[in-house]
């Protein structure tokens, strides 16, 4: 069989050779067009996914802000199907889980978020709150301090201040007064000129208790807002605790003129006024006035002692303790009634008054009114 050979027309080769660059250009253009088309479609898809995710996320935020965390968590989970790695979506889901008391699942999300952004203020704060709820002081302190020095996008100074205040209140609840005081001292230099915020700092110092620093904060508040009833009441309470009854009277009077329904301040004011009126050791008293005060105090203590003895008549131990005081009071009564006594007698009479008030408190009802005032005067004299 004879073989046949296929021959290629040289003119065809010349045609392809002449058009090869054009073919390559066309194919390249097609590839580039296809690439851009795919990229554009991908971007459109991604944008649609992002839009859907943002829409569900916004719905979740609305539900969470409206106090419906269960529905919010479902919306956040839907949002995450469109953007599984979105940091804010995961954080909001964790917050909704916390609102549902699903602490362990929220802790898993927050732990992962902390690994991604250990400097994030909100994540550290939520972790601090979780461990505070678990009564884990060490970890709570760690994350609270992280949050104080963390990155905050909105008003970082205010956020850090709020975190430190929250930490302080947590420490006060734990009776960790020394640590709480350290946090408050750190806060002192960072507060803005806000009279209510400064007065609140005074309130926290009162809980330590650090009455000197509390009074100083109330006074700062009053420089900014003279008729601030909370600061006036706080200053009155702090001054009273410091046994500065004249100052306390002034602050409490001023506060009650603005807020007359403050019953606690009214009670303290009455006691402060009694302390001032019944203290024979106040400077500036005439001899006759001092003797009248001693006689009144002596009689008030006698009434207290007589009443107390009557109430403990069936208690031999109490009677044995109080009877000698009754004998001393009866022996001294004639001299005090005549008000013919010198400074030594004044001191002896007041020593007996103070002994009566201190002894009767062990066996009888808590002192009120004049008896409470005499007990406070006694404590003040002990410190002199």
Q: Which long-range contacts (CB under 8 A, 24 or more apart) does 328-335 make?
A: 328/352, 329/298, 329/301, 329/302, 329/305, 329/356, 332/298, 333/298, 333/302
- 367, two tokens: 């002192």
Q: What is the mean pLDDT of residues 334-340?
A: 86
Q: Which residue has the higher pLDDT, 66 or 17?
A: 66
DSSP H helical segments within 242-315, as ranges?
Answer: 245-258, 263-278, 287-311
DSSP string for residues in 182-205: HHHHHHHTT--S-HHHHHHHHHHH
pLDDT at 34: 64
258 φ, ψ (degrees, to nearest 5)? -95, -40
List the helix and strand counts (H, then E) for the chain.
17, 0
**Helix %, strand %, coil % of the chain (to 5):** 80, 0, 20
Q: What is the mean pLDDT of residues 210-232?
A: 97
Separation CA 270–CA 248 (nearest Å): 11
* pLDDT at residue 53 greater than cutoff 90: no
Separation CA 287–CA 195 (nearest Å): 45
- 135, two tokens: 């009564």
Q: What is the mean pLDDT of residues 68-77?
A: 95
End-to-end CA distance of the chain: 140
51-75 b/e (C-beta count within 10 Å ≥ 16 → b): eebeebbebbbebbeeebbeebbbb
Separation CA 193–CA 367 (nearest Å): 41
Average pLDDT, whole number, for the chain?
91
DSSP 3-state of 151: strand
pLDDT at 42: 59
DSSP 3-state of 249: helix
pLDDT at 35: 61
Separation CA 145–CA 183 (nearest Å): 10
**136 and 174 in contact (C-beta within 8 Å)?**
no
280 φ, ψ (degrees, to nearest 5)? -75, -5
- CATH 1.25.40.10, domain 191-278, yes or no: yes
pLDDT at 213: 97
Q: What is the mean pLDDT of residues 326-348?
A: 90
Separation CA 17–CA 266 (nearest Å): 109
In the chain, what's the furthest Cα-to-Cα distance? 164
Q: What are 242-282's pLDDT values in tens digits?
A: 999 999 999 999 999 999 999 999 999 999 999 999 999 99
* pLDDT at residue 41 greater than cutoff 70: no
What is the band of 1 on the pLDDT scale with cuts at 50, 70, 90? Answer: very low
Picking from 300, 295, 281, 317, the residue whose alpha carbon sits closest to that of residue 367 is 300
- 106, two tokens: 């929220």
Q: What is the mean pLDDT of residues 335-360?
A: 91
**107 and 116 in contact (C-beta within 8 Å)?**
no
Q: Which residue has the higher pLDDT, 309 or 51?
A: 309
């Amino acid at each position: 069989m004879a073989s046949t050979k296929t021959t290629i027309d040289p003119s065809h080769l010349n045609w392809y050779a002449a058009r090869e660059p054009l073919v390559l250009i066309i194919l390249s253009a097609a590839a580039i067009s296809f690439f851009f088309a795919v990229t554009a479609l991908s971007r459109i898809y991604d944008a649609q996914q992002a839009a859907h995710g943002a829409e569900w996320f916004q719905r979740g935020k609305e539900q969470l802000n409206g106090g419906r965390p269960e529905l919010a968590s479902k919306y956040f989970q839907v949002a995450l199907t469109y953007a599984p790695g979105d940091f804010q979506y995961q954080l909001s889901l964790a917050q909704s889980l916390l609102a549902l008391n699903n602490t362990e699942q929220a802790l898993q999300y927050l732990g992962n978020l902390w690994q991604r952004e250990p400097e994030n203020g909100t994540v550290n704060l939520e972790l601090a709150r979780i461990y505070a709820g678990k009564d884990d002081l060490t970890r709570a302190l760690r994350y609270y301090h992280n949050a104080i020095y963390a990155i905050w996008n909105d008003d970082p100074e205010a956020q850090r201040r709020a975190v430190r205040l929250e930490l302080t209140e947590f420490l006060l609840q734990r009776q960790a007064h020394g640590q709480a005081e350290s946090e408050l001292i750190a806060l002192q230099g960072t507060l803005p000129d806000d009279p209510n915020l400064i007065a609140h700092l005074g309130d926290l110092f009162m809980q330590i208790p650090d009455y000197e620093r509390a009074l100083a904060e109330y006074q700062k508040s009053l420089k900014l807002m003279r008729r601030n009833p909370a600061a006036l009441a706080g200053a009155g309470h702090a001054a009273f605790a410091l046994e500065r009854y004249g100052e306390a009277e002034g602050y409490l009077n001023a506060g009650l003129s603005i807020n007359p329904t403050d019953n606690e301040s009214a009670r303290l004011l009455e006691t402060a006024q009694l302390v001032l009126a019944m203290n024979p050791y106040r400077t500036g008293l005439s001899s006759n006035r001092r003797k009248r005060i001693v006689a009144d105090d002596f009689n008030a203590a006698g009434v207290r002692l007589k009443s107390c003895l009557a109430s403990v008549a069936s208690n031999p131990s109490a009677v044995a303790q109080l009877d000698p005081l009754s004998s001393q009071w009866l022996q001294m009564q004639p001299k005090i009634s005549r008000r013919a006594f010198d400074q030594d007698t004044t001191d002896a009479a007041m020593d007996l008054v103070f002994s009566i008030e201190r002894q009767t408190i062990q066996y009888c009802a808590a002192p009120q009114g004049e008896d409470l005032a005499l007990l406070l005067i006694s404590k003040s004299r002990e410190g002199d």
